[in-house]
Amino acid sequence: MDLLERNIKTETEETRKEQERKEEEAEAEAEAGERKTQEPPQQGQGLSLSLANGSGRSGMLPMSNVSANPSQLTIFYGGSVCVYDSVPPEKAQAIMLIAAAAAAAAATKSSAAPTVKPPMVPAATVAPAAVVSPVLTRSPSLQSTSVATGQPQVVAEPSSICKLQADLPIARRHSLQRFLEKRRDRVVSKAPYSTAKSSDGMESPRIEVTAEGKAQ
Amino acid sequence: MGGEVPEPRRLSRALSFGCGGVPEEALHLVFGYMDDPRDREAASLVCRLWHRIDALSRKHVTVGFCYAVEPARLLARFPRLESLALKGRPRAAMYGLIPEDFGAYAAPWVAELAAPLDCLKALHLRRMTVTDEDIAVLVRARGHMLQVLKLDKCSGFSTDALCLVARSCRSLRTLFLEECIIEDEGSEWLHELAVNNSVLVTLNFYMTELKVEPADLELLAKNCKSLISLKMGDCDLSDLIGFFQTSKALQEFAGGAFFEVGEYTKYEKVIFPPRLCFLGGLTFMGKNEMPVIFPYSTMLKKLDLQFTFLTTEDHCQLIAKCPNLSVLEVRNVIGDRGLEVVAATCKKLRRLRIERGDDDPGQEEQGGVSQIGLTAVAVGCRELEYIAAYVSDITNGALESIGTFCKNLYDFRLVLLDKQKKITDLPLDNGVRALLRNCVKLRRFAFYLRPGGLSDVGLGYIGLYSGNIQYMLLGNVGESDNGLIQFATGCTNLRKLELRGCCFSERALAVAVLQMPSLRYIWVQGYRASRTGQDLMLMARPYWNIEFAPPIPESAYRVMADGQPCVDTHAQVLAYYSLAGRRPDCPQWLVTLHPASL
């Protein structure tokens, strides 16, 4: 019975998330206006909340025996606050990862299309209490900060590799170095070479054809 | 009484034969046939007489490093030299890694030896600092006798000194100035040479940036019927038509340039001399200008395309017409496909050099040279004695192929470029082992990789199978000090070693030096350097000089020979045997380590 209840609760959470996202996409402004109040507009949500609370309380005793150390999960999304009891840490982490990925995707979208208003960034945190405080409203910035932090880390690797290679570069003989410099000057300044270069460009399709011929 | 008479006679004869053994004249003749310096060295240790005969009959000496011996000592030891070669700055100077004020001055040598060496006819200075005054001293003392003057990658003199040489050295047959850095005060020196000399055979001012007048070259060709080789700077090839018409005997030409690219009609009148078999320079030669040399391609034995504008396809087209090449020098724009053409065409190839270009236009998409091209050349050109290649990719298999097929290899140099991230087959331990085991004639070996390119095991193989190799350059090899120790344990014949970009400690370097019995010169850069080089003192021993260039702060400003900033700030160690003791002319940035300084 407990296992069944947990599965039901998980499905309920997922369903609720999807509904909330769809509602937001369909009626962004209206939904935002409506959800400025903390009262749920639909009876269904009310029912699900109460059910969750009830099942949570009934499940507390067996969960403590398993020693999974469950806690409350509070989700701020679309102007509403949702509180879940007895959420295992693993599931909470998974939910937060999904939210972070969604946030990153949203950030990418916003960067791709700056004119479009970015949607609200979901913020998922494991809170010991259901109290709503101003500090929690800063979670979105923390999320974006962590995302931003991730990007430099990715960039850092190639730069460090380049630095290592630059430490002791493979040196080049003076005479060849001078020729390559003269060649660069010549490429930049001389029109005839650009003509030759374009002819080289025309030639490259032939090379490809030859290569294909060899391949065949 | 009668019986006593025969006895004294016998005694007399025995005594007369015992006084000297082989006559001195005969020994002179025998020594005259000994050319190998090491044989000479061994013979001179037999007894005082042999030592003296060697001294009097030695005609040529090469001083491997100009600080290894004092000029006066050389003069005392070999007073009848006809030919002297001196080497100065470390080889790394060619790559901008040694500052100009390192030293290697020719002045003490010229001052001490020019006058007393009555028989001196040939002088060869490499990577030394030579001033106009040095050349003036030389000319005053030996101008009338000098037949060969080679200033190879030297710096510090001007065309004024060349004027003096041209006016005073009328017996000069070889004037070699390749890759020198020369202050250009005008082209009068060539005019003087043309007017005063009638026996010149070789003139080389290749890669010097010196400008000359085509008319002076024509005059030179007219007056010096013996001119066989001319290697010069960039001069439009269309201005040399007269010179080529006049120089009937010319066999080697390098230089010239195609400044008007795209105008073939201007260059189609260029006709090279009939005996031409070496071509080089041809700066900026592209596809449109290539036909200029097609008529001579089958006769060419040496071809230098390092300074051309040829694409990979152009290389394929041109080399396919040159079946008699012995020497080929190219940039890596030739690509693997070009090397496959070389392998199929050039069965007499002995020397191959593949330099590093710089993102060449016309280079095929995969670009550069890899194991594919090297393997093709190894299989196809089995007479190769010298391979120097900058490669983008490499495998053990390619090195094994070189070992299997190139039995005559005397000199092998490989640099693995660092642009390509993924290398097919690292480390190269087994490949290098196969190469060294099979190429038993190898005397010089250079292997410049990247971290991870060769493990300690591979480094041990290099030592174990070093055989008769006398010179090595190793870059980014090994994993730890233990690898270096293993390497050193195997190197019984190594005389000169250069290390760069390795992870070894000073202590390991010192131990390695002491383990190699034949080592007389080592240069190291890019190692685990301390601020003072104190652990290097572990290699201290009699007649062994240790010079340490500490790591330089980035703010310090130093210049190379051609005035450009020194690109490198890493610590360097130079250690060598010397009969001369500590250098008297050390620059301020070079610290000489000596037991007394502890």
> A184 to chain B, minimum CA–CA distance in Å?
10
Nearest C-alpha neighbor of B451 from the set B477, B489, B469, B488? B477
Chain-centroid distance, C-alpha B85: 12
Shortest distance between the Cα of B207 and any Cα of chain A, in A, equals 6
CA distance A169 to A106: 42
Relative to beta strand B544-549, strand B572-577 is antiparallel
Beta-carbon separation of B97 and A171 below 8 A: yes
Closest of B486, B406, B390, B397 to residue B446, by C-alpha: B390
Rounded Cα distance between B31 and B356, Å, is: 45
CA distance B95 to B151: 18
Chain A residues with CB under 8 Å of B260 CB are: 192
CA distances (Å), origin A178, targets A160, B309, B566? 29, 15, 15
Beta bridge partners of B303: B279, B328
Report helix, strand or coil for B533.
coil
Could you give the CA distance from residue B277 to residue B301 in angstroms, rounded to a whole number?
A: 5
User: How many inter-chain contacts (A to B, CB under 8 Å) are there?
Assistant: 80
Among A170, A203, A207, select the one facing B415 at the smallest CB separation. Answer: A170
Q: Which residues of chain A have a CB within 8 Å of the CB of B96?
A: 171, 174, 177
**What's the CA angle centered on B126, arms B121 and B128, to 5 degrees?**
105
Contacts of A187 in chain B (CB under 8 A): 361
Question: Tokens in use for A9?
Answer: 């609760």
Vertex B289 angle, CA B287 and B295, to 5°: 110
Percent of chain B with pLDDT strictly greater than 90: 80
Residues B548-583 have pLDDT tens digits of 998 876 545 566 655 555 546 688 999 999 999 999
Residues 6+ apart with CB under 8 A from B40: B31, B34, B54, B58
Q: Token pair of B122, please?
A: 């040939």
Query: Strands (DSSP E) along B302-397, which ranges?
Result: 302-304, 327-331, 351-355, 386-391
Give tens-digit pLDDT for B293-305.
999 999 999 999 9
Question: d(Cα A45, Cα A139) in Å, to the nearest integer?
Answer: 24
Which residue shows structure tokens 């693993």? A90
CB spacing of A200 vs B287 below 8 angstroms: yes
Mean pLDDT across the stretch B219-234? 96
For chain A, 216 residues long, the average pLDDT of each consecutive 10-residue run is 37 46 42 39 34 36 45 79 77 69 63 41 41 35 32 30 48 86 73 37 30 27
SS3 sequence, B163-229? Answer: HHHHHHCCCCCEEECCCCEEECCCCHHHHHHHHHCCCCCEEECCCCCCCCCHHHHHHHHHHCCCCCE
Which of A22-26, B83-87, B442-446 is predicted least confidently? A22-26
Identify the residue whose tokens are 């979670």: A139
The pLDDT of residue B20 is above 60: no
In chain A, which residues touch B (CB < 8 A)? 165, 167-180, 182-183, 186-187, 190, 192-193, 195-197, 199-200, 203, 207
Contact B465, B433 (CB under 8 A): yes
Residue B475: left if φ>0, alpha if ψ -120 to 50, beta else—which one? beta
Which structural domains are found in chain B, ordered by start? 26-58 (1.20.1280), 62-233 (3.80.10.10)
Mean of pLDDT values over B364-379: 87
- Using a pLDDT cut of 70, give the percent of chain B over it: 91
- Average confidence (pLDDT) over B488-497: 96
Closest CA to B132 of B176, B163, B166: B163
Structure tokens at B486: 């293993």
Token pair in block for residue B454: 């060769």
Q: Which residues of B touch chain A, with CB atoms under 8 Å apart?
A: 92, 94-97, 179, 207, 209, 260-263, 283-284, 286-288, 306-307, 309, 311-313, 331, 355-358, 361-362, 364, 415, 417-418, 448, 475-476, 500-501, 525-526, 562, 567-568, 570
Q: Which residues contact A173 (CB under 8 A, 6 or more apart)?
A: B94, B95, B355
Q: Are B34 and B58 in contact (CB under 8 A)?
A: no
DSSP secondary structure code for residue B505 in this structure: B
CB crowding B172-195: b at 16 or more within 10 Å, else e: bbbbbbbbbbbeeeebbbbbbbbe
Q: From CA B322, how far away is CA B277, in angstroms rounded?
A: 11
User: In this structure, which amino acid lies at residue B426?
Assistant: L
Residue at token pair 């190469």: B435
**Is B358–A178 a contact, with Cβ atoms under 8 angstroms apart?**
no
Q: Which of A174, A184, A190, A214 to mutate to probe the B interface, most B CBs <10 Å? A: A174
Average pLDDT over residues B115-134: 97
Q: What is the per-residue pLDDT for A82?
A: 81
Which pLDDT score, from 0 to 100, does residue A76 have?
Answer: 78
For residue B4, name the pLDDT band (cuts at 50, 70, 90). very low
Helix or strand or coil: residue B143?
A: coil
Which residues in chain B are contacts of A196 at CB distance < 8 A?
Answer: 261-262, 286-288, 309
- The pLDDT of residue B74 is 97
Q: Minimum mean pLDDT among A165-169, B187-191, B192-196: which range? A: A165-169
Q: B169 with B114: CB under 8 angstroms?
A: no
Q: Which two tokens mark B483?
A: 């690898």
Contact B95 A171 (CB under 8 A): yes
pLDDT higher than threshold 90 for residue B61: yes
* C-alpha to C-alpha distance for B465 and B433, rounded to whole angstroms: 7
Asked if B227 contacts B247 with a C-beta cutoff of 8 angstroms, the reply is yes
If pLDDT is split at 50, 70 and 90, which confidence band does B232 have?
very high
**Residue-averaged pLDDT of chain B:** 91
pLDDT single digits (tens) A85-142: 877 666 676 677 677 667 766 665 554 444 434 344 444 444 343 333 333 333 333 3
- B570 contact residues in A (CB cutoff 8 A): 167-168
Across A155-164, B6-15, B111-120, the highest mean pLDDT is recorded for B111-120
CB contact under 8 A, B94 and A193: no
- Residue where the block lists tokens 């250098």: B583
The answer, yes or no, to whether residue B216 has pLDDT greater than 80, is yes
Question: What are B521's two structure tokens?
Answer: 């010169």
pLDDT band of B435, cuts 50, 70, 90: very high
Q: How far is A148 from chain B (nearest CA, A)?
A: 27
Between CA A99 and CA A89 the distance in angstroms is 15
Residue B386: strand pairing partners: B351, B411
Q: What are phi and psi of B156, to 5 degrees?
A: 110, -5
CA dist., res. A192 & res. A186, Å (int): 10
